[in-house]
Homo-oligomer: A and B are copies of this chain.
Amino acid sequence: MWYYICLMKRIYFDHASTTPVDPRVLEAMRPYFSELFGNPSSVLIEEGAEPRKALDEARLKVGRLLNAEADEIIFTASATESNNLAIKGLALANRNRGNRILFSDIEHYSVMNQADFLKSLGFEVDYVRVDPYGLVDMEDLERKAKPGTLLVSVMMANLEIGTIEPIREIGLLLKSRGILLHSDGAGACGQIPVDVRDLPVDSMTVSAHQFYGPKGAAALYLKKGVPLRPVMQGGYQEMGYRAGTENVPAIVGLGEASRIAAEEMALRVENLTALGRRLWGGIEKEIDYLHFTGHPTRRLPGHVSFWIEFVEGESLLLWLNLNGIASVSGSACASNVLAADETGLKASHVLTAVGVPPEICHGSIAFSLGPENTEAEVDFTLSTLPEIVGKLREMSPLYRKTLL
């Protein structure tokens, strides 16, 4: 039943989930699979030399994207791993600073779900509230970042609601109190300017596959001098912070994606902001009983997220998909349809945190656009959405036209 949509060109509005590898990136990676395949740790043989050089160059490129030194970049295999390394690694290496760890209420699962493990290691975990726009509540942070707090984790930008956090402000507050700050920059680094010399962060996660780099490559920026304990032990790679034979082609890809992102960011941001505004404005005009989520202006360019009363998210997502449009839903049902049972079906913690009532937050949809998207795609989406919403509301026992 799904196959007829194959004939249409798809409209990919789900760049927050993952992005295709840029052809230039793939081209850069290509020689490192079967020709320059050597182990970069085999420095004494010819085969190790080029891969080693390629790693060094990629490190420089990622460093340049963030305005960091090359030796402040640790390569990992995923943003999840970077977040695990940063939080567990900083916590274990800096116990002298305290025992308390704070997460914002809207961190990604790869931060949130570490809580139990951290508690089992004897740490205390508490959560900082966000306001209805998803911005960290600075008063709550001031209150909770009390003596004994060693580490705070606040993401650069939330990919479900698009909000960009005031990391600079947060970092300055924490610095004055001697508290470490990790920021999950997956989906932000490579998309919006991130300057670690300007932002008072101690570590920052970078994810390649969210800005046209390959899956399987990510990085952790670690500020020079900040102690970190590796969480995966083994050989002496990545300056001792991350063991395991380096995934050279993927790292080369991350480097090249970083170079391209740094060069093309200004233009991309401009175009995406315009496209995003067009989509936002159109949706606002076309759909009633619609609520945008996240901050209206302090948000990722090209990111538009909302929920619609009397419309369930998964059904909306499925109909959009059938109409050729790829998006993502924070709907409980949509979020984990492959889970082994229904215990995983909880309303998104992000939406609940920004105050969307759990019983009606099932209509949430996020569109995240990329540089290859066009005005025509936006307009097609705008022409399609009202019809789908109408159809689903028609089916809803909760919807009464007369009530509206």
Point out residues on A near B: beta carbons under 8 Å: 2, 5-6, 10, 12, 14, 17-23, 26, 33-35, 37-39, 41-47, 49, 77-81, 83-84, 108-110, 113-114, 116-117, 209, 214-217, 231-236, 239-240, 243-250, 314, 317-318, 321, 326-329, 334, 336-340, 344
Residues on the B chain within 8 Å of A232, using CB: 80-81, 84, 231
Q: Write the nearest CB–CB distance from A340 to chain B, whole angstroms.
A: 7
CA distance in complex: A217, B5 (Å): 32
Q: Considering the complex, give the chain B residue whose CB is closest to the CB of A337.
A: B43
Q: Taking A80-B235, A215-B250, A216-B77 as contacts, is the C-beta distance between A44 and B10 under 8 angstroms? A: no
Residues on the B chain within 8 Å of A108, using CB: 234
Residues on the B chain within 8 Å of A321, using CB: 44-46
Give this chain's copy count.
2
CA distance in complex: A115, B337 (Å): 39
A-B contact pairs, 15 of them (CB 8 A): A2-B49, A17-B38, A18-B38, A18-B39, A18-B42, A20-B35, A46-B321, A77-B77, A83-B234, A113-B233, A116-B233, A117-B233, A215-B248, A215-B249, A236-B338
Of the candidates B26, B38, B336, which one forms a contact with A34 in the assembled complex, judged by CB atoms under 8 Å apart? B26
Which of A81, A83, A232 has the most C-beta atoms of chain B within 10 angstroms of its own C-beta? A232
Q: Write the nearest CB–CB distance from A232 to chain B, whole angstroms.
A: 5
On whether the beta carbons of B209 and A317 are closer than 8 Å, the reply is: no
Of the candidates B19, B34, B45, B83, which one forms a contact with A14 in the assembled complex, judged by CB atoms under 8 Å apart? B45
